[in-house]
Amino acid sequence: MPIRTRALQKTAPDQPFRIAEIERRDPRPNDVVIAIKAAGICHSDIHTIRDEWGAAPFPLTVGHEIAGVVEAVGDAVTRHAVGDRVGVGCMVDSCGECEQCTADQEQDCLNGTVGTYASVDRDGTVTQGGYSEHVVVDERFVLRIPEGIELDVAAPLLCAGITLYSPIDRWGVGPGTKVAVVGLGGLGHMGVQLAAAKGAEVTVLSRSLSKADLAAELGAARTVATGEEGWAEAHRGEFDVILNTVSADLDLGMYLSTLKPHGAMVNVGLPPEPQQLSLGSLIGGGKVLAGSNIGGIRQTQEMLDFCAEHGIGAVIERIGVDDVDAAYDRVVDGDVRFRFVIDTATFAAATA
């Protein structure tokens, strides 16, 4: 039978969140039923539910940073058992057969990945996200959360963590490399921790030095104020990799000038407007301007294991389900250090 569960839902972009009862599918043989304990708030949730990336399919429950405990499993499940600590990230299905899926790159499925929310599932229904008490997910897309990471600090790793781990892995960040992280927010603070744990020398590029102490606590060797005149000239040709985590207009040529020859500037933030670039900024020095999204399931599990080994978690502020509307405004205003995580236990006493 389908599972009925409480969830935070919006019926329109300008409406507040409300608590509604939503339906999760009747678990299939390969499905895992997860009792959600913590759900991270990602800026993508805000963009989606405020119709900033196009019309959302309302009514809608968002959330793709999910951590919880396995409550039940289907007869064919082999990877997870009742009581396991698990997580779900940005996707819940893919074809499993195309070139990308068989290469452990399910996020780039050639037949279309099914997102955790606001996506058309294989049965034609619209997926509903993790601001909820329960979720039902195919076992292939359920991650094991290692002991040593609390569920609330693990939840944002399922998006923010893998978003930074993937380009760090792809572009060879490690001992002897110099890495610049642009922005010290929900994504940037994960980039600093992960790159430092990989053995890189990490510099935070921020508009001012106001977060320098925080950056140092997270593992950065220094912070450079990009609001100061001449900052780029002072660091010309210095970095092997730049991880750009901000969703704002930048002078790309100026940032590229701080790369070493053959270095890469990797963008994980998504500005709302097209960016301008003189190709000479790339041709001179044979530099690379790249984009990166998330990673596949194998790499996401690798990231979680790496974080457990190195004591890495998201820096979070815990909130209740009644606090989400206000939290959204604070995220947009940059008033969070560094991720909000919803405690789903608060559904019981909520008034939303």
* 273 token code pair: 């407007």
The tens-digit pLDDT sequence of the chain (352 residues) is 899 999 999 999 999 999 999 999 999 999 999 999 999 999 999 999 999 989 999 999 999 999 999 999 999 999 999 999 999 999 999 999 999 999 999 999 999 999 999 999 999 999 999 999 999 999 999 999 999 999 999 999 999 999 999 999 999 999 999 999 999 999 999 999 999 999 999 999 999 999 999 999 999 999 999 999 999 999 999 999 999 999 889 999 999 999 999 999 999 998 878 899 999 999 999 999 999 999 999 999 999 999 999 999 999 999 999 999 999 999 999 899 999 999 999 998 887 6
Question: Please, which residues have CB within 8 angstroms of residue 20's CB and are 6 or more apart in sequence?
Answer: 6, 7, 8, 9, 59, 61
Return the closest-CA partner of residue 204 out of 225, 237, 181.
181
- Superfamily assignment of 163-291 in CATH? NAD(P)-binding Rossmann-like Domain (3.40.50.720)
Considering the segment(s) 3-159+295-349 as one domain, its CATH architecture is Alpha-Beta Complex (3.90)
- Do domains 3-159+295-349 and 163-291 share one topology? The answer is no
Within 42-98, residue ranges assigned H as helices are 43-49
* 143, 89 contact by CB (below 8 A): yes
At CA 37, angle to CA 33 and CA 40, rounded to 5?
110
d(Cα 133, Cα 343) in Å, to the nearest integer?
Answer: 10
Give me the residue spans of the domains in the chain. 3-159+295-349, 163-291
* 33, 72 contact by CB (below 8 A): yes
Matching residue, tokens 């819940």: 92
* 282 token code pair: 């790339």
